[in-house]
Amino acid sequence: MSKPTKPSIVFVHGLWADGSCFGKLIPTLQAEGHQVIAAQYGLDTLAGDVAAVKAVLGRVDSPAILVGHSYGGTLITAAGADPRVAGLVYIAALAPDADETSQSLQAKFPVTDVFSHIEVADGRIWLKPSGTACFAGDLSEQEQSLIWATQGVPAPDLFDQKAEGTAWRAKPNWYVVAKRDRTVHPELQRFVAERMGATVIEADSSHVPMLSQPGLVLDVIRKSAAAVQQS
């Protein structure tokens, strides 16, 4: 009897980021036998970004674990309703319910430091160089500079948009809480993780544990993949 195919891993990035933010995870997961793709999208509209994630699901051959960071949690909450998705991993992420937007969920919690370090210009919300310390303060200055230089820049109304689908109500899910996050409030993270009944792992990290503590995040993804493969 042939060995079951391992779940695919589809990474879903947040604001001021692109797929390269998962660069410390992808080679290891590929070496362990997973098909891995990081979705890329324009941060123009929520519907367009969700459609881009669903399109990536068509490029992998086995049921997928969606791994969403930050705003990527909103995307996997919607796109994860797709039957090709077997499980969800949230990393310091938003996870709105059906009656919430990314913004209305955030508004229930204190404003974090990063929002004092943004600039709206040319129809986009830009992260200032000073904001990288709020976003990724436990990385080296060189890594923080790279994050700033490769930032994906969202449309101003992106967080006010809604999309159909609340996948965490039906799919197994895991949540990495970033305890020293200055971008998505840690209490928001704990709230949504408890609400969705997630398996919770707390990381003593900034907003980007996949870069500052890749081993911890890899372990969570491995456990999620093993769980859905056995189910």
| DSSP annotation string for 187-217 | HHHHHHHHHTT-EEEEESS-S-HHHHSHHHH
Residue 3 in domain: no
Residue pLDDT, tens place only, 106-163: 999 999 999 999 999 999 999 999 999 999 999 999 999 999 999 999 999 999 999 9
Residue 2's pLDDT is 47
Q: Which domain covers residue 204, as residue numbers? A: 8-230
Residue 2 in domain: no
Residue 27 in domain: yes
Residue 198 in domain: yes
Does residue 169 carry a pLDDT above 90? yes
Residue 202 in domain: yes
| H helix count then E strand count, the chain | 9, 8
Residue 1 in domain: no
Residue 3's pLDDT is 53
Does residue 1 carry a pLDDT above 70? no
Residue 34 in domain: yes
Spell out the residues 6+ positions from residue 18 whose beta carbon is closer than 8 angstroms to its own: 38, 40, 150, 151, 152
Number of domains in the chain: 1
Query: What is the CATH classification number for the domain harbouring 110?
Result: 3.40.50.1820
Residue 49 in domain: yes
Residue pLDDT, tens place only, 194-220: 999 999 999 999 999 999 999 999 999
